[in-house]
A and B are shown apart, each in its own frame.
Chain A
Amino acid sequence: MHDTIEARGAGAASPARTPRSPSIGRRILRALAPLPWIGPAIILIAAVVLWPVIEMAWTSLLKVSSSGKTLGFNGTRNYHDLFAETGLVSVLLRTVVWVVGVVLVTIVVSLALGQLLNARFPGRRVVRWAVIVPWAASVLMTALTWNWMLNYSYGVVNKILQGVGLIDHPVNWLAHPTQALIWMMWVAVFVSLPFTSFVILAGLQTVPQEVYEAARVDGAGRARTYFRITLPLLRPALLVAAIINVINVFNSFPIIWAMTKGGPGTKTDTSTTFMYKLAFVGSGSVGESAAMAVVNFVLILVLVLLYLRAVGWRGEAQP
């Protein structure tokens, strides 16, 4: 009832037929009225999403033994240890390359894909279905297939590349850090394309046809129409796609885990796998791992903010 009559008046959450009543009791009741609606969401988010954030930040200040026993307060020691890790700088740089590279390539390719999926040709529906597949398939399983296809001795990639004469001998792709990283970035792009191109496709379909007709009447060329009209109109879609991709790609653990486990050493780690390995693989420094997680957290915040700044965000992404 209340939501049908008023709504613009701030704080008017209580039933509209309630006369303006100054009584404190009623005010409190009115203030509490949203809670049955949004309370469960707040509780769930606070208990399961925010608690770990705090727990993690707190753990980064604790001394935790290799078998998980908390041995007391550690001050900033974990951060000192973390920054003393020899691999850290290159891991962080690699993370930036990983995120920026994968997201950039994904978006550029998706723009083309979106256009293709939006164009009309026989069998388009089937093509759309095919493009959806990597989205529906689990990322981990997709990465495992690529791992198998890139196998040194039995992989089809070596067979195909040898067949077309690009390489003479089989290459142990995943053993060389640079090659492995490039392949993993390709897999990351591969699994990000479906979502991104569908968001762009959805965006393309909100562009009113009249705009194109007007452009055509004005005699604008194809490229000009695209860059002057389509692209700007896709901005909101691109913004969302980019942010979601940055977050997903940054946190992309299964691809690296299924293909190289970040090895040899830390040479193909991103900060996400590095963080995991600090806690669960190497010497088991949970405190240091938590410190890495906090750094990650700041890093992704910075990445997203930088991105929003770069695209001149004005708040469209906010609901």
Chain B
Amino acid sequence: MKRHLTGVIAAGLTVTLGLTGCSKGSSSGDSGDNKTIRFVAAIYDDKTKSLWDSLIKTFEAQNKGYKVNLEMVDWTQMDAKVKTYVQTKQTPDILNYNAFADFARDGLLFPTSDVLSPQVSSDILPSFVEGDKYKGTQYGMPLLSSVRLFFYNKDIFKKAGISAPPKTWDEVKTDAQKIKDKGGKGVFPLGLPLGAEESQAEFFMWAMNNGGGYVDQSGNWAIDSQANVDTLNYLKDLSKSGLTQPNPETTDRKDVFNQFAQGKIGMLNGAVFMPAGFINKVNAKLPYAIAPLPTKAGGTPSTLGVQDFLVAFKNNGGKKKDAVSKFLNFFYQTNNVANFQKEEGFLPVTKSAGDVIGKAVPYDKPFIDALPNAKFYPTGNAAWGPLANTVKEKLGTAITGDPKSVLSELQQTAQKNG
């Protein structure tokens, strides 16, 4: 009897485990194949997935036996996913992300020289390469770049009686007040997205035009600097005075971009891809104009330059290097990369693509002109990845809390991680 029951249990267990074992075996068959790669890409807008899909289709047709499994991840979920993938050793073969240095530090990445042909490597615009390196070796491959400028709605400005876009913070405030008073019902004067999606960018744009930022002249972390504290106090005051959309601390960038496209926001720090990604879908005739970012006291405006990367993970002891390299070199062919960036409305990152796009899109000119004054994130610092995530998560709380203590907490996070 005893034996009987145990026998039954043993049989049952064997069956169940056998079944599940099979389902694992068959499904992991593809990941054991060195010609199949997993590519995690970020969603920039509605078109992103179809752009990658068609690129992958062409690639697979040109390279028989190779296969790319695409997984699209939204930016609002990207950080948590990447963290989880990295920590649970489920890294994709190629990842489209905005940080890489801590992965490089821990030896998880292929140096670009391992996966990109010399031809492609030398095609990358030199202004980006510096931000692609960790300790002198290039690991990041720029996928696209963006420059941020100040966008305003001409109709709303006219209604509020504002003749020119604000150049200083004081003007931002008085103009915002005018919009609040006369700009129309349901219009928010200033869009200020300090929610978890991109608060590290919004904060940086205001801070850099007050002489602040993430690092000081010598490259040391300076997040709790007085200039940064003043910046947040200024933004906090704007929000308190009802000059921004409600709850900046929980508002994501996409929300204000959408509202701007719908004509519900007077002005904001916009991005080069805003027309392609947001405005044209809603109202291609939106009467907007572009200006430099306002500065604290009216000095030379700086702007934020952003490059997002592709990085290649050394999975399975690097056995997929060949497949990864094939796909990356395919993607960086002039037409492919130029088409991708043009469709997404971003700025080119390679010389050859720049030549193609530069002639085709006049809209890009002010952004390309702003590039020399653009400041980039300290992406080459291994602490940047963890820091950026923490900033996204916590910075918004300064709007309702104490800016100084929020910033000093972030400073500690930065120092702790490198």
Which residues of A does B touch, CB under 8 Å? 1, 36-37, 40, 65-69, 81, 84, 86, 172, 174-176, 261, 263-267, 277, 279-286
Contact = CB atoms under 8 A, between A and B. Distances in A.
B97 to A, nearest CB: 12
A168 B250 CA distance: 22
9 contacts: A37-B5, A65-B105, A81-B416, A86-B405, A175-B249, A265-B394, A280-B84, A280-B87, A282-B390
Residues of B contacting A: mostly: helix
Given A280-B80, A282-B386, A68 B86 contact: yes
A67 B86 contact: yes
B389 A68 contact: no
Nearest to B76: A261
Given A36-B2, A175-B246, A264-B396, A283 B387 contact: yes
B102 interface: yes
A282 B84 contact: no
Contacts of A174: 250
B174 interface: no
Given A264-B397, A265-B397, A283 B417 contact: yes
Interface residues on B, range: 35 or more
Given A67-B86, A67-B102, A261-B196, A282 B389 contact: yes
Interface in B61-94: 79-80, 83-84, 86-89
B389 A175 contact: no
Specify which of A68, A69, A277, A283 lies most central, judged by the most chain B CB atoms within 10 Å of its CB: A283
A111 B313 CA distance: 56
Contacts of A281: 79-80, 83, 389, 393
Contact of B83 (A84, A175, A267, A284): A284
A277 B83 CA distance: 10
Residues of A contacting B: mostly: loop
B84 to A, nearest CB: 5
A261 B196 CA distance: 10
Nearest to B247: A175
| Cβ-closest 9 pairs across A and B | A283-B386, A265-B397, A68-B87, A175-B247, A264-B249, A175-B250, A69-B106, A66-B386, A282-B390
Contacts of B105: 65, 67
A36 B417 contact: no
B106 A67 contact: yes
Interface in B155-180: none
A201 B20 CA distance: 39
B413 to A, nearest CB: 5
Contact of B396 (A86, A265, A279, A286): A265
A84 B387 CA distance: 17
Given A1-B1, A37-B6, 6 more contacts: A67-B108, A176-B247, A263-B250, A265-B396, A267-B397, A280-B87
